[in-house]
Structure 1
Amino acid sequence: MPDAAAADFIHSLFKPAHILVAISGGSDSIGLLVALAEQLKSFPSSNIALSAATIDHDLRSGSADEARDVAALCASLGVPHVVRRWEGEKPKSGIMAAAREARYGLLADIAAELSANVVVTAHTLDDQRETLAMRAARLNEGEGTAGTGIADAILFDRRLWIVRPFLACRRADIRAFLTQRGISWLDDPSNEDVRYERVRTRKRLAQDAAPSLAQDSGAARAALSTDAAAWLERYATVHAGVLCVISRDALAADEVVLSYALSYLAAVFGGGPYGPGRERMRRILDFIGEGEPGRRTAGGVVFDLRRDGLYLMRESRGIQPLVLASGADGIWDGRFWIANHGPASVRIEAAGVKGTAEFPEGLPKGAVQRARAVLPQMVADDGENAASAVIVPYLAPFDRFLTRFDLTFADRLSTCFGREPYVRPPL
């Protein structure tokens, strides 16, 4: 029930803590705020502060009025409230994904301003069930890879944990909780728009005469992350952020562990948030299982199998240049974060034959040559090589959104690239 879920969350937090509730005005987020506020009143010396924030996506008329209604509710509860608007032109396609990115970015900025150390969102058991159904449907259609549902906690942008205390709560129970207290909520009309996959899935699941409980495999995923991290530590080495060397013995590991590790390695070296799809990954595993030296490409990554092991590197095709003004920063090819501290703008492109990074002796010359070719090279406007810049490996599947159940593997991979561990969860 909502009050029990709120109490469990509060007790699990490291203290002191400052919770920022993402509240839209819908029943789920209002229920989360009210439940947390009630629980904190029961524990006045808990050393926990509570604030709320509404992100006005400016996607429909009336959104500003709704934000004001939420502000009034927060005032009645004695909870400080901030409204932030998503400014600028909205994309023509992928609006939901873009809104999610904008929302989390704005919430992280607000959290920094308020010194809040954890954001909470009101994802429910109903949301979990829908997510698992959507991912199962994609998997059945041969798209995507096997995964889990909504994580109970994710790390955003390497700086802020976002936690979902209501993942075990049903929406009907949350609404009953609010109705008992005489508190109303807003209904977002987009929740009835069948153009969205989630809405279509929700309507289909509502017709299920005997709905099953959402069975998430987060615990199993966390165990797999731990096993894959041990595999990575024992068998894999990363050179110059562009070449991964995996010993031959590693390829005899359990296929589930091997698939998990290689998929994420492919995502990192290919600069993408996701690894190859299920069918492509199956072909890579079959190729490795045959044991014959050769090369295959998947997800923009070359899998170079040799007698002594497997070598992974970015393929040289499709690498687009990036121009950074003086003082600007950005992600190049999904693989490196680069900040330009020089006085002139710079162009970052693949080094090609000009790559000069040093690699240990004894590595295959062909693999080293291909790895050097995909290193970043910077040239200033005046044609001189730009030296005043910071270049840091970027781990695309983890550095923006990292689920708690992938944390152990991500930490180990971060170490392989010479980066610091990720921020610890606040609970």
Structure 2
Amino acid sequence: MIGEAVSENATESPEAAAAKFLGSLRKPAHILVAVSGGSDSIGLLVMLADCLKTFPHPEITLSAATIDHGLRPESAAEAVVVAALCSRLGITHVTRRWEGDKPRSGLMAAAREARYELLADATADLGANVIVTAHTLDDQLETLAMRGARLADGEPGVGTGIADAVLFDRRIWVIRPLLACRRDNIRAYLTNREISWIDDPSNDDPHYERVRTRKYLATLKNLPTVPVYAGAARAAISAAAADWLESHVIIHAAALAEIRTPGLDADSAVLAYALSNLTAVLGGQSFGLGRERLRRILDFIGERSPGRRTSGGVVFDLRSSGLYMMRESRGIEPLVLAPGEHGVWDGRFEIVNGGATSVRVEPSGNGGATALATTLPKAAVYRAGAVLPHIIHLGGQTSLGAGTIVHVAPYFAPFDRFLTRFDLCFANRLAISFGRKPYLQPPLSGLLTENASVGADYLGKGHA
């Protein structure tokens, strides 16, 4: 299965990985390969092209895109080199440039956002329906090592590392077919084909954490291993949490989660996963609660003593009837949208201004309680209602439900920009609970089913 490599002796040949990916892809398919010019991406492009020549798939089209981040003087010329290679291979190629001012801090994260945005736009222009990137086992080991270094002494786990399939912006799946392959084997393949690649000097710059980690790993006699069932176990917990959500949780007005008391006695791993992600969604945060804050909330719930706690921007209101979760009222900034603009307000609602005048979005305050059922606890109703979006037309005022000029929809901060296939089951169940459409399914056959069954076996052996 894609991305489930374990260690050095469990690697996959790049050629086999490319062939397996093409065989598992749902047809018809138009693949957009993200090609920087480095050995990994050039190798992925060439191997896919070679596979399609050796084992033709008439319903598969191959294109390529290079993202010029404009961060180095050589980047434009490197994109030209990639375009020339694509021309020789008979592959359509486009270059997209990251325009505008670059941030002074968080540059790598901003570049990643821009890269995927530009790649997604390119798929729309070319008619592609899947993006592939050339992340390797080396990248995976570096990622896990970096995450492990950030953990406190004795703190367990480093997560799943790089996911083998990620849905970007709810519109296009990004697949990483080479996660079980070593970079040296990709380079050997290219050398045998007499195809060169470009070495980015930033890959040797110790200013970057990943470069420092790469150099450290190079000194080790035995490389660390990738957890065998990390992704499969995560997918299984996601599926179990989806069942828990369906059985025990009601979402009111996209602002108040009501969790019935029996649901609080669920398996600890499932409850932790579900509450962490619910907190992120209701609090408008891209990430769930950290381990220590999550532990404190679980301890609070476990005591079964009615009361309130606040964490991650969410109020946890525990009562004899169950747990009620809602956004706290502090730190909510207004959002102003010009005609035709769209944006995300407070990380929780996507607002589209389809009118002819600008609008401001702000908390509803006392007036928002009317959107929730009066049978719910009064304090929870007023807290949840107060943080619902209220639309003010600059030059006139209207309520949230007046007409279709301004469109308001729930937004899931931890999932709507980058959703790993490990979290897809839970995210889809959450979408149904909030009255949204399910997410786009991965364009691969058998991947989720296979991993879910492996993960279920793993959890059944007591590894949760």
Residue number in structure 2 paired with 1:83: 95
Deviation at 1:140, TM superposition (A): 2.6
Q: Are residue 251 (structure 1) and residue 251 (structure 2) matched?
A: no
Query: CA 1:45/1:199 → structure 2, altered by over 3 Å: closer, same or farther?
Result: closer
Deviation at 1:143, TM superposition (A): 9.5
Residue number in structure 1 paired with 2:320: 307
CA distance in 2, matches of 1:68, 1:144: 46
**How big is the alpha-carbon RMSD for the aligned residues of Structure 1 and Structure 2?**
1.4
Instruction: Please point out which of 192, 198, 207 is paired with 1:195.
Output: 207
**143-152 vs 90-99, greater mean Cα deviation:** 143-152
How big is each residue's C-alpha offset from its partner over 1:154-192, in whole Å with a ceiling of 9 and x where there is no partner?
A: 000111000000000000111111111111111111111
CA distance in 1, matches of 2:186, 2:383: 56
CA distance in 1, matches of 2:152, 2:99: 38
| Structure 1 gap segments, 5+ residues each | none
Deviation at 1:195, TM superposition (A): 1.9
| SS of the residue 2:414 aligns to | helix
Deviation at 1:355, TM superposition (A): 1.5
Residue number in structure 2 paired with 1:397: 414
CA distance in 1, matches of 2:397, 2:238: 44
CA distance in 2, matches of 1:144, 1:361: 44
Structure 2: which amino acid aligns with 1:207?
A: T
How big is each residue's C-alpha offset from its partner over 1:322-374, in whole Å with a ceiling of 9 and x where there is no partner?
A: 00001111000000000112221011011112224332242100000000000
> TM-score, normalized by length of structure 1?
0.98
Residue number in structure 2 paired with 1:139: 151
> TM-score, normalized by length of structure 2?
0.90
Structure 1: which amino acid aligns with 2:159?
A: G
Structure 1: which amino acid aligns with 2:208?
A: Y
CA distance in 1, matches of 2:266, 2:162: 28
Query: CA 1:146/1:319 → structure 2, altered by over 3 Å: closer, same or farther?
Result: farther
Structure 2: which amino acid aligns with 1:296?
A: R
Residue number in structure 1 paired with 2:133: 121
Matches within 5 A, 1:43-62: 43-62=55-74
CA distance in 2, matches of 1:357, 1:168: 53
Instruction: Please point out which of 325, 328, 331 is paired with 2:344.
Output: 331
How big is each residue's C-alpha offset from its partner over 1:27-53, in whole Å with a ceiling of 9 and x where there is no partner?
A: 000000000000000123431000000
| SS of the residue 1:360 aligns to | coil
CA distance in 2, matches of 1:96, 1:244: 35
Q: What is the aligned-residue identity percentage?
A: 65
Query: CA 1:45/1:131 → structure 2, altered by over 3 Å: closer, same or farther?
Result: closer
Residue number in structure 2 paired with 1:240: 253
Instruction: Please point out which of 413, 420, 423 is paired with 2:437.
Output: 420
Residue number in structure 2 paired with 1:170: 182
CA distance in 2, matches of 1:3, 1:146: 29
Structure 2: which amino acid aligns with 1:122?
A: A
Residue number in structure 2 paired with 1:107: 119
| SS of the residue 2:310 aligns to | strand
Deviation at 1:211, TM superposition (A): 1.1
Deviation at 1:146, TM superposition (A): 5.2
CA distance in 2, matches of 1:6, 1:195: 33
Q: Give the conservation status (yes or no) of the 8 Å contact 1:142–1:278.
A: no
CA distance in 1, matches of 2:163, 2:426: 16
Residue number in structure 1 paired with 2:6: none
CA distance in 2, matches of 1:197, 1:164: 22
Matches within 5 A, 1:212-223: 212-215=224-227, 217-223=230-236
Query: CA 1:143/1:355 → structure 2, altered by over 3 Å: closer, same or farther?
Result: farther
CA distance in 2, matches of 1:145, 1:396: 24
How big is each residue's C-alpha offset from its partner over 1:257-285, in whole Å with a ceiling of 9 and x where there is no partner?
A: 00000000000000011011111011001
Q: Are residue 284 (structure 1) and residue 301 (structure 2) matched?
A: no
Deviation at 1:202, TM superposition (A): 1.1
| SS of the residue 2:360 aligns to | strand
| SS of the residue 1:396 aligns to | coil
Instruction: Please point out which of 369, 373, 378 is paired with 1:365.
Output: 378
Q: Give the conservation status (yes or no) of the 8 Å contact 1:25–1:70.
A: yes
CA distance in 2, matches of 1:58, 1:146: 33
| Structure 2 gap segments, 5+ residues each | 1-12, 445-464
| SS of the residue 1:357 aligns to | helix
Query: What count of residue pairs does the alignment treat as equivalent?
Result: 427
CA distance in 1, matches of 2:342, 2:60: 35
Structure 1: which amino acid aligns with 2:25?
A: L
How big is each residue's C-alpha offset from its partner over 1:378-424, in whole Å with a ceiling of 9 and x where there is no partner?
A: 11111422642000000111111100111000000000000001001
Instruction: Please point out which of 10, 17, 20 is paired with 2:32.
Output: 20
Query: CA 1:377/1:316 → structure 2, altered by over 3 Å: closer, same or farther?
Result: same
**383-392 vs 298-307, greater mean Cα deviation:** 383-392
Residue number in structure 1 paired with 2:9: none
CA distance in 1, matches of 2:147, 2:321: 37
Deviation at 1:210, TM superposition (A): 1.1
Residue number in structure 1 paired with 2:288: 275
